[in-house]
Amino acid sequence: MKIKTFLKESREELQHVNWPTRNEAIRLTTIVIGISVGLAAFLGLFDYGFSALLKVLIAR
């Protein structure tokens, strides 16, 4: 009986959700992917720079 009540209440709550439109979802997904790629490139450049610096310091 608890499962039935849970499912009924869950369905009622999902009807109150303000779902984004298709265009909003695409726009927000593009923003998230863009920020992720930008952050990955930024961290990759720092990693490459620190690795090169470490190689120079160890080679001395």
- % of residues, the chain, pLDDT over 90: 93
- Domain ranges, residue 10: 2-59
How does DSSP classify residue 16? T
Domain count, the chain: 1
Indicate the burial class of 56 (C-beta count within 10 angstroms; 0-12, 13-18, 19 or more).
Answer: exposed
Distance, CA of 29 to CA of 45 (rounded, Å): 24
pTM of the model: 0.67
If pLDDT is split at 50, 70 and 90, which confidence band does 59 have?
A: confident
AA identity, residue 13: E
Residue 60: pLDDT band (50, 70, 90) is confident
Using alpha carbons only, what angle is made at residue 38 by residues 48 and 35, rounded to the nearest 5 degrees? Answer: 150
Kindly state the tokens that stand for 21.
């439109």
